[in-house]
Structure 1
C-alpha cells in the first residue's frame, strides 16, 4: 500500500455550517498528518470537494507524487477524476483539483463508507466541537479502533 489520503465532509443536507477532514496515512495505513476545520458551505457536494481540494493542497505542499485520494462521495470523485463540466457552484474548486492532480500525479478513488470511516468520524467530531486538537499524534480511543479497521479494508 502506498501513501493515501482519506477525505470527508460533515454538514446538514442543505449546507451551512460544516467541517472537512483530511487524513494522510503512511504505507502501513497509520495516520501521519491531517486536518479538520470548520467551513461554511452551500451544499454537501461543495464540502466534499473542498475536502478533496485540501487533500491535494497538502500533497502538493509536502512535495509528494502519486498519492491516492479517497472519498466515499461518488460524485465528488467523478468530478475530480474526469473532465466532466462541473456545476457552477463548485467549478473553481474542481479546476484547482484538476491542476493539482496533473502536477502531482494524484489518483482519485471512490471507497465505501466503511473504508472511509476514520475521515467521516473525524469530520463528525469536528463539526460537533468534540475533536481534540492533537487527534493525529494522540488519537482518542474511539478513533484508534476505526483507524485499524480502515486499514483492513
Structure 2
C-alpha cells in the first residue's frame, strides 16, 4: 500500500497503483493496539458512512498523553456541542484545551476532600499584625445567568471592617480569571481609599503562586496578575497570604450574595446586615 510509481513501471503495475486509491477510500483499520492508527485522520470507525472522526482537532492537543486532561477536553467538547445546538454562548474551539488545562489546575489546587482531614484543618480568620490592613477577596460564578461576583473586605488588626465591596461582572471564559479579577479589584479599592501596608489574602492557590513568581506571566490571565502587581507598587508594604475557605467566610458570603446585584456597592465600616454574624464570629475567634 506504500509502493511508489515510476516512469518505467509496466501498464499492469500502474493499473494496480491506480486501484490502490480506490481501496484506500473504502478501506478501514481493524484496531488492535491502536498504536499505528492516526485516530483523527484515518478510517477506523466501524461504520460505512464517515468512518473517521469529523470533529476538528483541538489545537495544541497533538501528542498529549494525559488521561485526566483528555477527559476534561472531551467534556468541554461535549458541552460545547450542546451549547451550540441550544443556541447558547459557547467556548471557542481554539480555547478548549486552554480551558481544560485551567480546570485541571483548579482541581489540583482544591482543598483536601477527606472529611476527617477537613475537620482537623479548619482555620479561622486571623487579624493582621502591627498597623497592617488585611484584604480578603473572593470570586463567585453564577452559570445560570453567566455572571460572576467580585467581593473584598478590608479589616484592621482589631478585626473591624474598614470597607467592603460587592460587584457583579459578566462571566469570564476561565474560572481562575474570576479570582484574579477579585484580587485586582480588592487591591484597587485599597489604593483608592488610601489604605497602606496591605496583606492580600484569598483561597486560590493558583493565584497565590502566580503572585510569588517574579517576571512576566504568560498564562491567559497573566495580564491581570500583572495588574495586581502594578497596584501593589503604590503601597509602602505588601504581601500575599493563602487561607482556607474557613478563614475567608466573610468574603465568600459577600460573593455569593452578589448575585442579586446589578451594580457595584461599597460599604464603609459596615457590611450587609445578614453578614454581621460572620463578622462577630471572626471577632470571637481572635486570640
Fold shared by both chains (TM-score > 0.5): yes
Aligned to 1:117: 249
Aligned residue for 1:89, secondary structure, equals: coil
Contact 1:114 1:150 in 2 (8 A): no
Deviation at residue 84 of structure 1 after TM alignment: 6.5
**d(CA) in 2 for partners of 1:61, 1:81:** 24
**d(CA) in 2 for partners of 1:134, 1:18:** 17
**d(CA) in 2 for partners of 1:79, 1:55:** 17
For residues 72-99 of structure 1, what are the alpha-carbon distances to aligned partners after superposition, in whole Å with 9 as ceiling and x for unaligned?
1111122123227535321211111112
Aligned residue for 1:23, secondary structure, equals: strand
Aligned to 1:139: 272
Cα gap change, 1:135 to 1:12, in 2 (>3 Å):
same
What does 1:22-61 correspond to in 2, within 5 Å? 22-40=152-170, 41-61=172-192
Deviation at residue 38 of structure 1 after TM alignment: 0.7
For residues 84-137 of structure 1, what are the alpha-carbon distances to aligned partners after superposition, in whole Å with 9 as ceiling and x for unaligned?
7535321211111112223313211011101100100110010244xxx67663
**d(CA) in 2 for partners of 1:138, 1:48:** 21
**d(CA) in 2 for partners of 1:53, 1:102:** 13
Establish whether residue 149 from structure 1 lines up as the match of residue 149 from structure 2: no
Deviation at residue 35 of structure 1 after TM alignment: 1.1
Q: CA RMSD in A?
A: 2.6
**d(CA) in 2 for partners of 1:42, 1:146:** 31
Unaligned runs of 5+ in 2: 1-127
Contact 2:142 2:259 in 1 (8 A): no
Deviation at residue 27 of structure 1 after TM alignment: 2.2
Aligned residue for 2:233, secondary structure, equals: helix
What does 1:58-77 correspond to in 2, within 5 Å? 58-77=189-208
Q: Which has the higher contact order (CA 8 A, sep 6+)?
A: 1
**Larger displacement relative to structure 2 (114-123 or 28-37):** 28-37
Deviation at residue 57 of structure 1 after TM alignment: 1.0
Deviation at residue 26 of structure 1 after TM alignment: 2.1
**Rg comparison, structure with higher value:** 2
Deviation at residue 64 of structure 1 after TM alignment: 2.7
Aligned to 1:82: 213
Unaligned runs of 5+ in 1: none
